[in-house]
Structure 1
Amino acid sequence: MSAGIAVITGAATGIGAATARLLASRGHRVVIGDIDGRAEGVADEIRSEGHQALAVRCDVSDEDSVAGLFVSARDLGSVQVVVANAGIAETKGPLHELDGSAWNRVLDINLGGTALSMKYALRHMVPQGAGSIVAISSILGLVGQANSAAYSAAKAGVANLVRSTALTYAAQGIRVNAVAPGYVDTELIRRLPPEVSSQMISRQPLGRVGTPQEVANVIGFLASPESSLVTGAVWAVDGGYTAQ
C-alpha cells in the first residue's frame, strides 16, 4: 500500500536523490523537483525498481514554479511528506567584499526556496490535518565559519524557520523538522582539492565525511510516523562536528 506522496526538491543528485530512493522504497510515490535534468534519471531508476516516481522541473526561487510542482504532486494523491532540500553553495569571501547579487541568489534559493516549499506543502497538509516536512539546514546554520556569510545566514534562517513553523502548525497535526548535515560525499566535495577535503575530514571527530545515504536515513526517520513526537528539532548529522 502506498504511503502517500513525498515531494523532494533538489533530488537530482546527492542527499536529495538518496532521500527520493529511500522514500520510494518505503512505499511513497515520489515527486522530484529540480532544475537539473538528471532528476529524470533518478525517477527512471526508481521506476525500474517497481516504485512510482515523477520528475518535475522546478526552480525553488520562483514561486510559480514551486506552486506548479505541488499541483503536479497533488494530481497523484495526498501529499504526506515534503523534503525541502534544494540549495546551492556560495563563493566564499569576507563580508566587506560581498557581491550583492550572489548574496541574493544564495538567500533566494537556500532560504526563500525552503520557505516557498514549506508554504505550498502546508497548503496541502493543513486541510488534511497531517503531514511531515523536513528542511535541510547545515552545520553552518548552527555554528560559525569564516568567509561564509550568505550560506551561513541562509542555513541559520532555515533552522529558525523550522522552529517557528513547527510551533505554528503543531496543533494541526503537522510536524516540521530540519537536518543539519556536516561534510558529506557529494559532487561539491569531490570537486575540491585533496588538501581541502582532507582538512574537512579532520574536522569531523568520526574521521570521515558522511554519505548521502546516512543523511537520507535521518530524513527518512523524521518523515516517518516513527518520529511522531519530534517537531521543531534540528538534527545535526555531522560526525560530531558541532559537539566540539
Structure 2
Amino acid sequence: MSRSVLVTGGNRGIGLAIARAFADAGDDVAVTYRTGEPPKELTDLGCLAVRCDITDPEQVEGAYKEIEEKQGPVEVLVANAGVTRDQLLLRMSEKDFSTVLETNLTGTFRVVKRATKRMLRARTGRIVLISSVVGLLGSAGQANYAASKAGLIGFARSIARELGSRNITCNVIAPGFVDTDMTKALSDEQRANIVEQVPLGRYAQPEEVAASVRFLASDEAAYITGAVIPVDGGLGMGH
C-alpha cells in the first residue's frame, strides 16, 4: 500500500534522490522547497512540490495542510532541509550561527512536531532525520553546522523514547561526502584530499543515502529506533 511521505528540501541532491526512491516504490511523495522552481523530474515522478521555508511556522503549517488535503496525513517524514554558512569561529557572525541552527535544528523540530500530531492518532509513523558525519567528528570552519547536526541526534533519541510506545520510530542518517552539485563545485585538488580521508576511497552517491532512508522507513526496520546510521564510507568510524 502506498504511504503519504514528506521529504523536506527534496528538490535537489540527497533530498531529490530520497523523493525518487519513495516515488519509485509507489508511495505518494510531497517535497518542500524554499526558493526557485522545483525540478521537472518531481512532476514527472508525480510528486507534490510545496514551497515552504521551514524557519517560518506559518509556512510549515500551510504546507502540512496542503499535503494532508492532497495526499493524506504524513506517515513517513524525512527531515532533510538544511543550510550551511561555513566560517572559522573567530570570523563567524551571530547571524551565521543562528541561521544554521534555526534551519537545521529548529526547523526540523517544527516539521517533526507537526507530523507527530497525526502519527500519534494513527499510532504509527516513521521519522528519519538527515544529519551528517560532521555532527559526529566535527569540522574546522563548520562549528555552526556541526552543532546543528549533532543536535539532531539528541533530538531524535529523545523523540524515539517519547513516541516508541505509539509505534513511531525516529532514526538518523549521517551521510559523509556525497557526490552532489555542492561537492562537484570543489576543485579537483579539494576532491582528492577529501577522498583520501575515506576508507572506501570514493564519494557516496545520493541514491546510496536514499536506500538507507527507505530501509529505516520500511517494515523490516520496525524494531529500529533511536539509531544513527552512518553512510560515510567509513569516514566517521569510532564516533
Question: Which of 220, 225, 242 is the aligned partner of 2:236?
Answer: 242
- Residue 130 of structure 1 is matched in structure 2 by 124
More deviation in 35-44 or 165-174? 35-44
Residue 138 (structure 2) pairs with residue 144 (structure 1) = yes
Shift of 1:13: 0.4
Tell whether the 8 Å contact from 1:135 to 1:162 is kept in structure 2 after alignment: yes
- Residue 81 of structure 1 is matched in structure 2 by 76
Tell whether the 8 Å contact from 1:181 to 1:238 is kept in structure 2 after alignment: yes
Instruction: Give the secondary structure class of the aligned counterpart of 1:79.
Output: coil
Render the CA deviation track for 1:119-150: whole Å, top value 9, x for unaligned: 11111211111000001110011112222110
Shift of 1:43: 2.1
Structure 2 unpaired stretches of 5+? none
Residue 104 (structure 2) pairs with residue 110 (structure 1) = yes
Residue 161 (structure 2) pairs with residue 167 (structure 1) = yes
Structure 1 unpaired stretches of 5+? 48-52
CA–CA distance in structure 2, aligned partners of residues 15 and 109 of structure 1: 17
2:58 maps to a residue whose letter is D
CA–CA distance in structure 1, aligned partners of residues 64 and 151 of structure 2: 23
CA–CA distance in structure 2, aligned partners of residues 13 and 113 of structure 1: 18
- Residue 182 of structure 2 is matched in structure 1 by 188
CA–CA distance in structure 1, aligned partners of residues 33 and 41 of structure 2: 11
- Residue 150 of structure 2 is matched in structure 1 by 156
Tell whether the 8 Å contact from 2:86 to 2:145 is kept in structure 1 after alignment: no
Name segments (4+ residues, structure 1) moved above 6 Å.
Answer: none
CA–CA distance in structure 2, aligned partners of residues 40 and 71 of structure 1: 22
Instruction: Give the secondary structure class of the aligned counterpart of 1:165.
Output: helix
Shift of 1:72: 1.3
Query: Size of the alignment, in residue pairs?
Result: 237
| TM-score of the aligned structures, taking structure 2 as reference length | 0.95
| TM-score of the aligned structures, taking structure 1 as reference length | 0.94
Shift of 1:90: 2.0
CA–CA distance in structure 1, aligned partners of residues 49 and 39 of structure 2: 5
Identity %: 38
CA–CA distance in structure 2, aligned partners of residues 172 and 68 of structure 1: 26
CA–CA distance in structure 2, aligned partners of residues 60 and 41 of structure 1: 22
CA RMSD of aligned residues (A): 1.2
Shift of 1:40: 4.8
- Residue 34 of structure 1 is matched in structure 2 by 33
Render the CA deviation track for 1:88-133: whole Å, top value 9, x for unaligned: 122221x222211111111111111111111111112111110000
CA–CA distance in structure 2, aligned partners of residues 235 and 63 of structure 1: 29
- Residue 53 of structure 2 is matched in structure 1 by 59
